[in-house]
Amino acid sequence: MTRMLIIGPPGAGKGTQAARISDRLGVTAISTGDIFRSNVKEQTPLGVEAKKYIDAGNFVPDSVTNDMVRTRLAEDDVEAGFLLDGYPRTVAQVEELDDILAGNGQKLDAVLLLTADDDELVARLLRRAELEGRSDDTEDVIRHRLDLYKQQTGDVVARYEDRGIVTRVDGLGAIDDVTERVMEALKDLR
């Protein structure tokens, strides 16, 4: 059984690699963005609560996010393991995830950290913005998102590094090459 996180800056390919890792390891990939969208769409009590914050342009509070993750990690499809993308983002969420897993007699096996050079990420995200018609994704906006990522995740990564479960993999290059580097780095989990 594999229980792991994937962390990386915007544009590092987390979603793409999460799907590939999920396939290869036979675990469920869980994106917190997907959890939010599903709860809002299905108008669950948590989704209704989250929508209030989202519609006002505010961050959804940790309590709501934590409850959504707790509910999702209780579903049957994660019994064989999971790959969590987008959570935890804060030290408080790290502690909450620890509590959720401990309640099930579990712990994290690995944290995959995709790394990438900022200038390369900016170029990649500007290309994606152009292809997808995202006029709001300017270089300034992208660099601001990269700065926020670093501020938010530094302490989270440090917590997991203290536990010795962080594996760093270069997230730049051809998708297949990155996948092979990831799988090689995670070979002890298979």
Q: pLDDT tens digit string along 70-117?
A: 999 999 999 889 999 989 988 999 999 999 999 989 999 999 999 999
Active site residue 124: no
Alpha carbon distance 104, 107 (integer Å): 9
Q: State mean pLDDT over 53-81.
A: 88
Nearest to 17 by CA among 147, 189, 186, 165: 186
Active-site entry in 3, 14, 20, 72 = 14
Which pLDDT value is given to residue 1? 67
Active site residue 143: no
Helix or strand or coil: residue 178? helix
| pLDDT tens digits for range 124-134 | 999 988 988 87
Tokens 């519609």 correspond to what residue? Answer: 55
User: 37 among the known binding-site residues?
Assistant: yes
Which pLDDT value is given to residue 188? 72
User: 39 among the known binding-site residues?
Assistant: no
User: 128 among the known binding-site residues?
Assistant: yes
Active site residue 127: no
- Indicate the average pLDDT of the chain: 91
Active-site entry in 145, 159, 168, 181 = 145
Range of the domain at 142: 2-189
- Per-residue pLDDT at 189 exceeds 70: no
pTM, 2 dp: 0.88
Which pLDDT value is given to residue 177? 97
User: 20 among the known binding-site residues?
Assistant: no
DSSP tally for the chain: helices H, then strands E: 8, 5
User: 145 among the known binding-site residues?
Assistant: yes
CATH number at residue 116: 3.40.50.300
Active site residue 107: no
Active site residue 159: no
User: 103 among the known binding-site residues?
Assistant: no
Q: State mean pLDDT over 11-33.
A: 92
Note whether 92 and 83 are within 8 A (CB). Answer: no
Active-site entry in 128, 143, 159, 181 = 128
**How many CA atoms, within 13 angstroms, populate the side-chain half-sphere of residue 26?**
5
Report the number of distinct structural domains present in the chain.
Answer: 1
